[in-house]
Chains A and B, each alone.
Chain A
Amino acid sequence: MRETWLVLLEQFKNLKVIRRLAKYEEKSTFQAHILGNVWQILDPAINIAIYWFVFGMVLYGNKPMDGYSYIAWLLPGFIAWQFMRSEILGASRSMVSRVQMVSKMQFPVSTIPSMTLASQLINYWWMLGISMVIMLMYGVRPSFYWLEFIYFFFCMIVFLYAVGLVTSTITVVVRDFHTLLNSAMQLMFWVSGAIFNFSANAIIEKHPMVIHIIQINPFYYIIAGMREAFLGTGLFYHDIKSMIIFWSITLMLLIFGSHIHLKFRSRFVDYI
């Protein structure tokens, strides 16, 4: 417990540095590109267009979801997914790619995953802004439900940091882990409900067990929650069971992550 506390304290102490260094990371990622930072929006925008076409038009035939058109239903969950995916993959590599840089200075290494988080977050705000405009065009109206966003956003950040702490440390020790994670995220994409509406599927409705298993998935909790918030279809405290499952998984990851992080932080350089 003390380890978790130490790690969290380091994040809060270094918030400013994290934010500023995240900006430099942004800069260096797209430094060689002609369009530069435009890619950060262009890339997910192309993705959204594809899924809109394939699922919204071809598969669901423009059938409304939860009373909204598919694109309005897709966006809040999908951009959250896109953010989580790139954050987790980025964070798992973050320690490996940056430890050389910080190895010879007094630097709180536990902030490295947060740096990836912060730089991806800049991206997320852009996407959120754009999708809000699209959602408004497709008939979504602001409501008090939008306040739920704060809660689910908090869930998302804590969860992502916990996962980042665990994966970044493991990747340093076992390099294969990043590749494994990449495949796992592919699978997660299809079962996290980012593009499918599981509750509107006739076949799945016959097998409620499938839905229950999907509900255990923390990604599903966040994605479904974001949708509830923006589309105003539910309140977060109604599903206590999912809440307990999500938070116990997150806390376990956080405790385990900070333990192995502190255990390995002094030896990161030896492994690389």
Chain B
Amino acid sequence: MDKKLKIRARYLTKEYDMMKTKSDKLKSLMPFGNTAIEKFWALKGVSFDIYEGDSVGIVGLNGGGKSTLLNIVSQIIPPTSGELEVNGTTNIISVGAGLNGKLSGRENIIMKCEMLGMSTAEIDDKMEDIINFSGDQVIKKIDQPVKTYSSGMKSRLGFSVLVHQDPDILIIDEALSVGDAPFFEKGVARMKEFKAQGKTIMFVSHSLSQVKTLCDKVVWIDHGRVVMEGTAAEVLPQFEEFQRTYNKKSKAERAKITRDSGQDFSLEELHEAHPEEPISYFKKKLYDKPLSWPTQTVLGFLTLLLIFTITATLREVPLRTAVLHPLTIISLKWLIVIVAVIAVIAGIGILSRRRKERHVLD
């Protein structure tokens, strides 16, 4: 294989909090770890390789994790665990990318492009193309506020901006369903152009005929796992078959399957199933962890410093005296009381953590 590796995904997982009540939302703000909230695993260890020039279609049922996967690959949301290596710039195109209604169409184009990291010269260069691509209606109103546009015009404008970026890897999330038939044709033509340039495309769509025409490779994802991978001719017939049987099930039954499958997973299980892989693939990443111990130490130190200085200020003791003779700002009796309270709180914390661990072991 001499083709360059573009995307390498290893055991990607994504866990969401299921926030059912308002108090759950509040709990999730607490910095010191919280395990009481119900979790939902949207991805359960997805691995694949995508090479340069591939156009890969992702198929699957609603709620199967397709959009989550695309968002992770385009680095909009971080995975909970797993390794992702992307060589090159990615660009995700999806419906409903926001515009600022108060600004004119032209200003919105500039703003969007800036957000996507284009330079002023590049924007000037592409401005005409972008406007022309979005259709006659938009051309007429380009200098009027976007809030006066129809919803179709808005999404065409948004799509047009995104399609004129020049990424190595193009990720399309159902975006071709925007607009009327002529616009759709233009969109498909543009995709084919990308493909002809040898760019990598990842494509999610519910229209299997679109997948057939645009993609050489298809990945079928269901309930967060890769079910099948292969050429369109191999995968699509089987997927269609599966879809037919699934549709016969009742609504309640389908909802139950989705809910249960979201909980029926843990990173330990995934590691046990693949013991040969390095453990780092199965560790949660930084942002989902509670505060690390150095951070906790610094925070604790700052709190103590703050309390100490505030006490010195309130007692009108100069700082030098307060440091040399701490007892001038606080009597021994109170100091003992405070230390005792801290010790009790810390003790309770350790005990409850132990209990939780034992609970997990059981």
B residues within 8 A CB of A100?
A: 98
Interface residues of B in 1-53 (CB under 8 A from A): 16-17, 19, 22, 25-26, 28-29, 31
Interface string of A214-246 (1 = CB under 8 A from B): 011000000000000000000000001110110
Q: Does A213 contact B (CB under 8 A)?
A: yes
Bound complex: CA A124 to CA B302 (Å):
31
- In the complex the two chains form, is B319's CB within 8 Å of A240's CB? yes
Contacts A21-B114, A262-B286; A212 near B313 (Cβ below 8 A): yes
Interface residues of B in 275-299 (CB under 8 A from A): 286-288, 291-292, 294-295, 298-299
Partner-contacting stretch, out of A55-63, A82-90, A101-109, A145-153: A101-109
Residue from A174, A208, A252 in contact with B316 in the complex, judged by beta carbons closer than 8 Å: A208
- In the complex the two chains form, is A251's CB within 8 Å of B103's CB? no
- In the complex the two chains form, is A255's CB within 8 Å of B309's CB? no
Interface centre among A28, A105, A170, A173 (most CB of B within 10 A): A105
Residue from A105, A170, A252, A263 in contact with B302 in the complex, judged by beta carbons closer than 8 Å: A252
- In the complex the two chains form, is A105's CB within 8 Å of B92's CB? yes
Bound complex: CA A260 to CA B92 (Å):
26
Chain B nearest CB, measured from A243 CB (Å): 9
Measured as residues with beta carbon below 8 angstroms from the partner, the interface class of chain B is 35 or more
Bound complex: CA A103 to CA B99 (Å):
11
Bound complex: CA A31 to CA B104 (Å):
10
- In the complex the two chains form, is B107's CB within 8 Å of A27's CB? yes
- In the complex the two chains form, is A2's CB within 8 Å of B286's CB? yes
B residues within 8 A CB of A251?
A: 298, 302
Residue from A240, A259, A265, A266 in contact with B291 in the complex, judged by beta carbons closer than 8 Å: A259
Contacts A104-B97, A106-B74; A216 near B313 (Cβ below 8 A): yes
Kindly report which residue of chain B lies nearest to residue A251, judged by CB atoms. B302
Interface residues of A in 117-175 (CB under 8 A from B): 170, 173-174
Interface residues of B in 93-143 (CB under 8 A from A): 94, 96-100, 102-103, 107, 110-111, 114-117
Q: Does A202 contact B (CB under 8 A)?
A: no
Bound complex: CA A174 to CA B286 (Å):
24
Measured as residues with beta carbon below 8 angstroms from the partner, the interface class of chain A is 35 or more
- In the complex the two chains form, is A248's CB within 8 Å of B115's CB? no
Interface centre among B17, B288, B310 (most CB of A within 10 A): B310
- In the complex the two chains form, is B98's CB within 8 Å of A101's CB? yes
- In the complex the two chains form, is B29's CB within 8 Å of A31's CB? no
Residue from B115, B288, B310, B314 in contact with A21 in the complex, judged by beta carbons closer than 8 Å: B115
Kindly report which residue of chain A lies nearest to residue B173, judged by CB atoms. A104
- In the complex the two chains form, is B111's CB within 8 Å of A24's CB? yes
Chain B nearest CB, measured from A160 CB (Å): 19
Residue from A28, A107, A213, A248 in contact with B306 in the complex, judged by beta carbons closer than 8 Å: A248
Kindly report which residue of chain A lies nearest to residue B162, judged by CB atoms. A105
Kindly report which residue of chain B lies nearest to residue A243, judged by CB atoms. B309
Main secondary structure of the interface of A (DSSP, over half): helix
Q: Does A38 contact B (CB under 8 A)?
A: no
Contacts A31-B145, A248-B309, A249-B306; A173 near B29 (Cβ below 8 A): yes
Kindly report which residue of chain B lies nearest to residue A1, judged by CB atoms. B295
Bound complex: CA A101 to CA B154 (Å):
13
Contacts A104-B76, A267-B16; A245 near B92 (Cβ below 8 A): no
Bound complex: CA A251 to CA B299 (Å):
9
B residues within 8 A CB of A107?
A: 115-116
Chain B nearest CB, measured from A205 CB (Å): 14
Kindly report which residue of chain B lies nearest to residue A14, judged by CB atoms. B117
Q: Does A187 contact B (CB under 8 A)?
A: no
B residues within 8 A CB of A24?
A: 100, 103, 107, 110-111
Q: Does B77 contact A (CB under 8 A)?
A: yes
Q: Does A17 contact B (CB under 8 A)?
A: yes
A residues within 8 A CB of B100?
A: 24, 28, 101
- In the complex the two chains form, is A3's CB within 8 Å of B295's CB? yes
- In the complex the two chains form, is B312's CB within 8 Å of A31's CB? no
Bound complex: CA A28 to CA B314 (Å):
47
Q: Does B258 contact A (CB under 8 A)?
A: no
B residues within 8 A CB of A212?
A: 313-314, 316
A residues within 8 A CB of B295?
A: 1-3, 255, 259
Q: Does A32 contact B (CB under 8 A)?
A: yes
Residue from B26, B31, B110 in contact with A256 in the complex, judged by beta carbons closer than 8 Å: B31
Interface residues of A in 8-40 (CB under 8 A from B): 17, 20-21, 24, 27-28, 31-32
Given A3-B287, A267-B17, 5 new contacts (CB under 8 A): A24-B111, A107-B116, A212-B314, A245-B313, A266-B78
Q: Which residues of A contact B (CB under 8 A)?
A: 1-3, 17, 20-21, 24, 27-28, 31-32, 100-107, 170, 173-174, 208-209, 212-213, 215-216, 240-242, 244-245, 248-249, 251-252, 255-256, 259-260, 262-267, 270-271
Chosen A-B contacts, 17 in total, with CB atoms closer than 8 Å, are: A17-B114, A24-B103, A31-B102, A32-B102, A104-B97, A104-B173, A106-B76, A170-B29, A173-B26, A173-B28, A173-B29, A244-B319, A252-B302, A255-B298, A256-B299, A266-B77, A270-B19
Q: Which 10 A-B pairs have the closest CB atoms?
A: A101-B98, A266-B77, A28-B102, A248-B306, A262-B287, A100-B98, A248-B302, A104-B97, A244-B309, A31-B102
